[in-house]
Amino acid sequence: MMLRSLPILLALTSAGLAQDGGQLYTTYCSACHGADGKGATGGQFPPLAESPWVQGDPDRAIKIVLHGLNGPVEVAGRTYNLEMPPQGAAIADDQLAAILTYVRASWNNASPAVTPAMIKAAREATAGRDKPWTAPEILKLHPLPAAAPPIANLISRIYPGEWQDLPDFSKLKPINVEEEHDGLISVSHADRKELVGLVWEGQITAPKAGKFTFRLDADDCARVIVAGKKVAEVRGIGPLNGSRAKQGQIQLSAGSHPIRIEYVEFRGQEAIALAMKGPGIPGWRNLSDSPVPAEKPSLMIRPTPDRAVIYRNFIAGTTARAIGFGFPGGVNLAYSADNLAPELLWTGDFMDGGRHWVDRGQGNQPPAGERQVKLSGARALAEGARFRGYKLDPAGNPTFSVQLGEQFLLDAWKPAGSGATPALTRTLTVNGQGSPVELLVCEKLALKKTGDQDYELGDELRLQAENAAFETRDGKTYLKLSPGKPATLTYRWK
């Protein structure tokens, strides 16, 4: 039999409890709250370890155990919406006292014992209650002790501007500087809606030395920097729904550390969510007034060193019949079979298949990487053109086929660079007799000629074109392809 620690023995003895609180806890409570008090099934239930809900004023925990708790409740920076059933009718006073005494003296909790007399008094005082408590009800009667702000000395700076990604804020001048006394980052104020950037700076506390994880999500883009190191960032335009959330880790010593959060809102909804966890923090600690969406199952899809990989589920930023290809070297492509065109290019990670391959979730999955470029969102060829599928070479590189009457347009892709200069080469060929074919190459991206065959395409890409002559009209750039005369385009990130 495992010996109980001295503090718990003394607590039980002083309370005059004959019951074994640890054994009773295992029987009645551990299925939900975990044998270690951190919440069962990976923290899906509220933790009791280091929780202010079970420490301090004993009547708070006693009344919850007697009558249960229903509705949303925030514990350790995370919101739970479960129902704790009442235990008052099933467990005797001395047993409830032993359980609560054990909980209040375990897992770094350090509160005095609960006696059977305390349970009896609470029972009598609440005898007329016939429904579970809600968190606001119980906290009105027994407030939690005031906690230190999640981010100390938090200051925000506001920058007006129209960005679709994070700018260099060091080169900009803020129009307003504010103190955020609650210590939470927020975009709920009226001056933080559309076409705005924000930077927050303050200090976070690491209770113990160790590795800390930060989880960030945003509508639209954000970055978190801790102790001078970029830990996580969400790039580009998109929603806050968990699908684009990013996590990063950093080793911290015990004590205070500087934190900086950068944020951009383009148009539409505005939101940011940030949380941290690590040694001495039970569960996730919210650093924003919006909780971070629950973690989705993850299954990162990657090419092998010598072969591309395919993703045929719904991809955010393109059409329902998009086909994704991840190439060796960290270059990626999404081709729309609806619009007969490549619509998205990006670098880094390819796709996270957790949403569609693990839990069969609905909705679009955004690319997992960064430096995303949207080439177009319109049909690339004239009406009457039909997608006829694709073929793969031995390395898994695709050639897409589109039929235009008696002609076929072949659109072949392969990686052409990696590391600091990732690139994709595209070879376009028209087979069959007929007139030249006009193909939409891009829209809403400025094409600037820099050499005989060299161009800049938007802010991210350089384009090298062989046997290609472009025409731009109405904000769209077209390429005319003559039968039997292939054109080669190489897209290279700057």
Question: Can you give the pLDDT of all 494 residues of the chain as single tens digits?
Answer: 233 333 443 444 444 444 688 888 888 888 888 888 888 766 678 889 888 888 989 999 999 999 999 888 888 767 888 888 898 888 899 999 999 999 999 988 888 999 999 999 999 999 999 899 998 998 999 998 777 889 999 999 999 999 999 999 999 999 999 999 889 999 987 677 788 999 999 999 999 999 999 999 999 999 999 999 999 999 988 888 877 889 899 999 999 999 999 999 998 889 999 999 998 886 788 999 888 766 666 788 999 999 999 999 899 999 999 999 999 999 999 999 999 999 999 999 999 887 776 655 667 888 988 899 999 999 999 999 999 999 999 999 999 999 999 999 999 999 997 667 899 999 999 998 889 999 999 998 999 999 999 999 999 999 999 999 899 999 999 999 999 999 999 999 99
Instruction: Please give the Cα distance from 29 to 92 (Å, whole number).
Output: 15
355 Cβ contact partners less than 8 Å away, ≥ 6 residues apart? 243, 296, 297, 313, 361, 363, 365
Measured from the Cβ of residue 195, the count of other Cβ atoms closer than 10 Å reads 12
Q: Are 323 and 219 in contact (CB under 8 A)?
A: no
Run of H or E residues at 14 = helix 6-15
Instruction: Please give the Cα distance from 276 to 286 (Å, whole number).
Output: 7
Q: Helices 93-104 & 6-15, crossing angle to 10 degrees?
A: 150
Q: What is the pLDDT of residue 13?
A: 42
| Cα 168 off chain centre by | 23
| Cα 178 off chain centre by | 27
Q: What is the pLDDT of residue 360?
A: 57
Q: What is the pLDDT of residue 410?
A: 97
Q: What is the pLDDT of residue 482?
A: 94
Q: Provide the 8-state DSSP code for 169.
A: G
Measured from the Cβ of residue 186, the count of other Cβ atoms closer than 10 Å reads 17
Instruction: Please give the Cα distance from 49 to 110 (Å, whole number).
Output: 10
Which structure tokens are listed for 138?
A: 């119980």
**Residue 224 Cα distances to 198, 230, 368, angstroms:** 12, 6, 18
Q: What is the pLDDT of residue 362?
A: 67
pTM over 0.85: no
Using DSSP's 3-state secondary structure scheme, residue 213 falls into strand
First to last CA, the chain: 66
Q: What is the pLDDT of residue 12?
A: 41
Q: Provide the 8-state DSSP code for 357.
A: I
Instruction: Please give the Cα distance from 8 to 17 (Å, whole number).
Output: 11
Q: What is the pLDDT of residue 17?
A: 45
Q: What is the pLDDT of residue 296?
A: 61
Q: Provide the 8-state DSSP code for 123.
A: H
